[in-house]
Structure 1
């Protein structure tokens, strides 16, 4: 077995770079605080771990072999993320009790990640690139699942903490509108790399 250091570096970079999940974690931290965002973080991390494990078991090969399936996954995921970006951009400031009172749940985070094209791309890429690190698909699935799940927890916690910090800086409804517009725009922009 060769070194897993390149895999760990890939996973760290893939999970910490801005994208749909990191944008949602930041927005949730800003709006609801760190503790109330933990279910979202765990839901996303568990879903990413599962997706990576399934990619290690062979889904990556299926998506590569069937471009139409890959295009359908991208289209559905992109449409959902654009709708979510619109909702974030249009959400009211939490000043005076306005805006949604509940953060995204664990199940909601789990489903959101499955609809994120970046997640599919990075887990399938990892399965293809690092397949030789394991002696069989089951071991590759465990290695990828553990790597992506752990890294996602850590990176999303950092992004959520950034959101908490931003919430301390934003005091007026105007500040919140700017943050919501920025988070919505970033979420929408996170879809672009999936279509290149």
Structure 2
């Protein structure tokens, strides 16, 4: 069991650090509350867990070996994140009826991770670094997927709860506008490391 601890620590740190998924969870918690944000968080966690399992099976290497496929993921992922960022940034208070009118769905949360180059880099890096933990590829895929899935659930719940807390502090439409602009800008900024 102690040999798994470095993997668990890596997954925890990788998922709790700010990025597109954590920013989206915070914005969703602030705008819609914790319970309505659960499908988004589950979609992201399932997406990350399945991405980690695929990376452990070696398919992540295909993405790294085929530059055109890597470029397509970057373009699609960046476009999706920028679209979400613009929707969040244009939102007013939750009852204003503008911007995001309802929470992001489980499917969209899943797609967010599969199109997120940070998610690919994180899981492919973990697959390469911890490959010796698995006795066989299937066991390693399950281990890596479980580690990232559980870590994502915990970190996204934390970020969403922070959003709920922020919502309690926001009193005026101007406060909401400032939060939504900040969340949109942070989500858009999460695209920058993808293109370095």
TM-score by length of 1: 0.94
* Match in the other structure for 1:167: 167
Offset, 1:177? 0.7
In the alignment, is the contact (CA less than 8 A) between 1:3 and 1:133 conserved in 2? yes
* Match in the other structure for 2:32: 32
In the alignment, is the contact (CA less than 8 A) between 1:16 and 1:152 conserved in 2? yes
How far apart are the structure 1 equivalents of 2:131 and 2:188? Answer: 31
* Match in the other structure for 2:132: 132
In the alignment, is the contact (CA less than 8 A) between 1:82 and 1:188 conserved in 2? yes
How far apart are the structure 2 equivalents of 1:60 and 1:129? Answer: 13
Q: Are 2:192 and 1:187 equivalent residues in the alignment?
A: no
What is the count of residue pairs matched by the alignment? Answer: 195
How far apart are the structure 2 equivalents of 1:64 and 1:105? Answer: 29
In the alignment, is the contact (CA less than 8 A) between 1:64 and 1:70 conserved in 2? yes
Where 1:102 maps in the other structure, the secondary structure is coil
In the alignment, is the contact (CA less than 8 A) between 1:2 and 1:133 conserved in 2? no
Where 2:144 maps in the other structure, the secondary structure is helix
Runs of at least 5 residues in structure 1 that lack an aligned partner in the other structure: none
* Match in the other structure for 1:79: 79
In the alignment, is the contact (CA less than 8 A) between 2:32 and 2:94 conserved in 1? no
* Match in the other structure for 1:11: 11
Runs of at least 5 residues in structure 2 that lack an aligned partner in the other structure: none
How far apart are the structure 1 equivalents of 2:73 and 2:5? Answer: 30
Going from structure 1 to structure 2, the CA distance change for 1:2 and 1:70 (only over 3 Å counts) comes to farther
In the alignment, is the contact (CA less than 8 A) between 1:48 and 1:149 conserved in 2? yes
In the alignment, is the contact (CA less than 8 A) between 1:85 and 1:183 conserved in 2? yes
How far apart are the structure 1 equivalents of 2:90 and 2:37? Answer: 20
Where 1:183 maps in the other structure, the secondary structure is helix
How far apart are the structure 1 equivalents of 2:176 and 2:190? Answer: 21
Offset, 1:68? 2.3
Where 1:143 maps in the other structure, the secondary structure is helix
Computed over aligned residues only, the root mean square deviation of the Cα atoms, in angstroms, reads: 1.5
How far apart are the structure 1 equivalents of 2:90 and 2:113? Answer: 21
Q: Which runs of 4+ in 1 moved over 2 A?
A: 97-101
